[in-house]
Structure 1
Amino acid sequence: MMNDNMNNQWNKYFFGEPTEEEKRELFSQLTKDEELKRDFATMQNVVGLSGLLPREDDSLKGEQNLEALMLRQEKKQRKKQIIQFIRYASSAAAMIALTWMLAWYIFADSETLSYTEITVPKGQRVHLTLPDGSEAWLSSLSTLKWPSVFSSDARTVVLDGEGFFTVTKDASRPFTVQTQKYDVRVLGTEFNVYAYGNSQKFETDLLSGKVQVISAEYPEETITLMPNEKVSLVEGKLMKSVSHFEGKEYREQGIYDFEEKPLGEVLERLEQWYDVSFVVDNPSLLDKIISGKFRQSDQIETILKAISRAGLFEYKIISLREITIY
């Protein structure tokens, strides 16, 4: 059971500005109590998820989503743990965002570890902090799964979608992003991975540090990237090239700003973000070069109106899931 002093320490660490001495004292206590250490790691996950795009109506939706989630929990212990964590969250803003996020917060129990899996809603993005302090930005309809506590010799997360990672350096524990086709392994770096399971496209852009891209099926197929390099899957083979990653504004503000991109590339990204399918009557349209800017939170029709103003193409919305380009 957590005493008042420890409760205050947690509140200050997650929602205040602890001094270096206070941090050392807290971590010293955690190393002496494994159960407390696991609870701290889980709380770190919860607070990391609480940064999801706060909205004015979050309070009401958060309460409704939390109630629905509680009804779905099969294990009373997990329900008790979630309620306990909420009591620790003294910040009103964090409380609102936390309860809204719990609708996507799923626990998968095993004897020794619990896992967190989150799927980002359509048209949104999520920023979260992992147990080791590494950070991830997840794009729309992306799914990330990770353990509440990383092992002593490895840090592994599973990604289906697009994520930008800033990894805390730890030479003794490589950080690996597993995708359906390839693993991306690092020690400490910044990189972007595009790997939706329902797409043939795979890309990794490296901004700093060093990464290895390893085939899940053929481990001997490995490519090492240095800063400002990228690897792409081209006709079934990994190809290395110069990276011109332009995702900083998108990562920070949710704005996708593109210059001189083929229409086909932009449509593919829209398909992944909005869960729609484009039917292109004239394949030559896919090679048309366009430029533009939009927010990922914009409606798909708003985006299509904006990028079709140059008169390069027309569109017709057939249904919520199908759009014709002609």
Structure 2
Amino acid sequence: MKEAHFKTLLKKYQEGKATASDKEHIRFFENQLKKKNANQIFTNDQHKEELKSSIIGVINRKISKPSFYWSKIAAILVLLLGVHLYRQYVSHSNTLYNEVTSGPEVKYYILPDSTQVWLNKSSKLQFANHFNETRDVILEGEAFFMVKKDQNHPFKVRFEGNELEVTGTQFTVNSKKTKQEVAIKEGSVTVTTTALEAYDLKVNNVLKITGQSSVKSIEEFPRSGYWSQGALLFNNMPMHQVLEIVSKRFGQTIRIENIDKGQLGLRISAKFTEDISVFDLLNSLTHITPFTYELNIERQELIIK
């Protein structure tokens, strides 16, 4: 998040024009700053509270119509970084989080912890630069998640003021302005709504949220939750063409190293279901023709050897 964008969000909040998504970004930014910088600024908890009380007092005297949340945010920013440190932090990091958008097509993306995400059309996913420490994402639109299991670092999805938490499972989140829905394919999750109601969801549970009301039901997980383009069918196709299709389907650049032309010309006949992951597909291909692969998550690149 650039400094100008953050200032715009704060101004909208102060004027009462911030959307649920805007508020989520502000809270996300606040939480990341606190986690990353608190130990560098305060000598102890008493020191933090004394400074906070002092600054909030000044802000409340200066603003004719003070907003409690605006005062809180401003105080936290000054306390955590100070004006000089805040500007220095923004200029060095450039952005606090990364953004992935799907545009007019479904987009497949692998997060830094190896969690796999299918973003439906016209959707957006944001996550912190130091993602492996927090595993928090913000979703606008719809996505299917195949979360990498990590008991020590829960995976959280924030959407329209709601929060989903899990350590490792498979589920979809459909986040629209007026209605949100969570469907579980595998494992279990906990969802806390904007009304502060907590729901524990298991396989084939669906939670539908409309405003301040929520309804939990039991339904078969929708196959449309993958938004894929159908099954993958290779009929006597050369290996190099198979890899080209895999690259396009999963949005991964494929770099080939140390494989001879004879192996790349090997013809393959196979069929894979629409919900297969790129890892399972490549593992299956290694049983047909021997090769190894590595994933460069930062570049979203698969290296075939």
Q: Given the two structures, how large is their TM-score scaled by the length of structure 2?
A: 0.43
Q: TM-score, normalised by structure 1?
A: 0.40
